[in-house]
Structure 1
């Protein structure tokens, strides 16, 4: 048996090392430092041989986790620094982002809100650093899904979303003091330059169908956003809601209509699983 352990230690570039407290059963228990066979290191609290409590785990690839552990898994509050420069700070459960947390992406984008099983899920706000725009609303399995609001510099869109795109009835609200109501439709368009021998191809695109222009109206924000309040618009007495607006004219030509940006790609391939000691 001794020869087997000796051979395993010789085959690995690092032998397992531990320095710290132990209990009567000689299990790692209390505060300790460990160097794992793969080169990762851990310093923090142990309980009955497992990481449990506050600790710092440093990966050989440069990543590190600072926070709470439960039975060898990230669980509780903690901060994970990824090798690409992104950072997650918030709640963990069973080694996954779960609960409320803030993720700062390598390109500068920020998501703050609810997580479930490593994915954005629940209520949250995603800020696009390049444009200053933000999506605020409901998320399902990492995608914008349900009631939400796209906020831009001088206008915003309120409505429902599906798979990161607006869908169905909604409205654009402009800072000049009016709204354009309408709906987003999925329209099939033939793909250009199709070879004669091939079957005609079509692609589905989003198209905004404007219906009417009104003054500012009340809107109930999705649960959990804007503190569950109703946005209140105060108008001066006898002031018209809309001034010289043609209801048949679009208020957002192509250069004014907000683009529905795809969210920044989340880092899916970073190895977060610590080696079992």
Structure 2
């Protein structure tokens, strides 16, 4: 996932860039204006007492751009951010970060539509995998699947619990032909070849399904 790029502050330092637009009696940027910032970024939109405030468009020299609401120089409210890799977020912002409801379309065409907290998927949401068409709907905690969720495939779906982004514990597969299989996911741990014993990443964890009885749906 792309990080939100930082924005240059205005009216600071020896190089103030350039500005065309409204000012108040204190000569602060106030109202509508266009600015070229010292680092080459540009902003076109509304100001209040020298700060970006209201609707505006901020274009980064990297090619990224944000179109949406500002409050006291921070992205706040509703807005769309397009990243240099082509990914895009459309939704709510608070304190310059993705917060609230939003849709993120990734560079590989995957998408997530749901709750966000401080730039991470957090709360209820749906993630669609573009290459397979599979879809996960459920709870997220700090960017990972956690708690109850459902994975949808073409002709069947899995319902169960997830821990640390992996299926774990009791669950069931429900098939469109009218039956379901109960069972549970257990985690197999494997020591990676050549890894040090004290390396926290030396263990590969793989969820393995233990199927039980098959019953009618």
Q: Which residue of 2 aligns with 1:184?
A: 185
Q: Distance in 2 between matches of 1:202 and 1:160?
A: 22
Give the structure with the higher percent strand. Answer: 2
* Secondary structure, aligned partner of 2:173: strand
Which of 1 and 2 has greater Rg?
Answer: 1
1:205 positional shift: 3.0
Q: Secondary structure at the match of 1:176?
A: coil
Q: Deviations over 1:55-89 (max 9, x none)?
A: 00010111100000000000000000101100100
CA-CA distance at 1:212 after TM superposition: 1.4
Query: 1:51 matched to which residue of 2?
Result: 52
Distance 1:187 1:62, change over 3 A: closer
Size of the aligned set, in residue pairs, is: 199
Which residue is equivalent to 1:160?
A: 161
Matched, 1:96 2:100: no
Structure 1 residue 110: deviation in Å? 0.7
Q: Could you say what secondary structure the match of 1:37 adopts? A: coil
TM superposition shift of 1:204: 3.9
Structure 1 residue 145: deviation in Å?
Answer: 0.7
Identify the structure with the greater helix proportion. Answer: 1
Change over 3 Å in CA distance of 1:101–1:28 after alignment to 2: same
Q: Separation in 2 of the partners of 1:204 and 1:165?
A: 9
Q: Which structure 1 residue ranges, 5 or more long, are not aligned? A: 1-6, 10-14, 217-277
With structure 1 as the length reference, what TM-score do the two structures score?
A: 0.68
Aligned to 1:118: 119
CA RMSD of aligned residues (A): 2.0
Shift of 1:8: 4.4
The aligned runs of 1:224-263 (5 Å cut-off) are none
Cα drift, residue 25 of structure 1: 1.2
Post-superposition offset of 1:49: 0.5
CA distance in 2, matches of 1:188, 1:109: 28
Residues 16, 94 of structure 1: CA spacing in aligned structure 2 closer, same or farther, 3 A cutoff? same
TM-score, normalized by length of structure 2?
Answer: 0.86
SS of residue paired to 2:208: strand
Mark the runs of 5 or more structure 2 residues left unpaired by the alignment: 1-12
